[in-house]
Amino acid sequence: MKKLAISLMLSLGLVVGAQAGDAASGQKISGACAACHSKDGNSAAPSFPKLAGLGEKYLLKQLKDFKSGNRKDPVMAGQLAALNETQMADLAAYFASQTRTVGYAAKDKVALGEKIFRAGNRATGVPACLACHGAKGEGMSAAGFPALGGQHGGYVKAQLVKFQEDKRTNDASKVMRDIAGRMSNKEIDAVSAYIQGLH
């Protein structure tokens, strides 16, 4: 298991030291982000991710990927076009330092969602989500694995579907594409709902 985790981190480029950002400087330039993600990173709309507490390394990687086009989103690419690496690191530090709000899981999806999150699906080779994202969805910040607990279920589902359909390709080792590709739509729906209420 340790070898697998190290292999994943190396393949994702997460072991290499990332530039540390300054949260106070990030807050000063975060105004444009608030329109979609809210001032403290707790977006109200389920189509926009909550950035609060997501993890500094993960956030910085996503910002760099949006800017470079490695992760496709024309709106985000436009927002980041004028920012340099220091400014992106500062934004990542600011949003990572914020506390995420938690939602509620749909009762009819909790049982299956919890099963997938905590134990995976041995029959189809889906690993437990908690292996990388923590038992309470707190993530592994040092490894760059995002905190998922409390994230909008709609957003999580949309990302899992993108991974499943090979439309989100910024996971260098294809780990998430492989996992999501083994999941049924019912499992994706349930685990996304479960994550929304996880804390």
b/e code 131-155 from CB counts within 10 Å (16+ = b): bbbbeebbbbbebbbbbbbbbbbbb
Domain match, 136 and 164 both: yes
Number of domains in the chain: 2
Domain match, 159 and 184 both: yes
Q: For 105-123, write each residue's pLDDT tens digit.
A: 999 999 999 999 999 999 9
Distance between CA atoms of residues 196 and 133, nearest Å:
13
Residue that terminates a domain, selected from 72, 96, 120: 96
Distance between CA atoms of residues 196 and 153, nearest Å:
5
Domain match, 177 and 153 both: yes
Does residue 17 have a pLDDT over 60? no
pLDDT of residue 19: 67
Q: Which residues, in sequence order, are CB contacts of 121 under 8 Å at separation 6+? A: 115, 182, 183, 187
In three-state secondary structure terms, 99 is: coil
- At residue 6, φ and ψ (nearest 5 deg) are -65, -40
Tell whether pTM > 0.75.
yes
Q: Is residue 7 part of a domain?
A: no
Does residue 199 have a pLDDT over 90? no
Domain match, 48 and 76 both: yes
CATH of the domain at 82: 1.10.760.10
Domain span at residue 169? 107-196
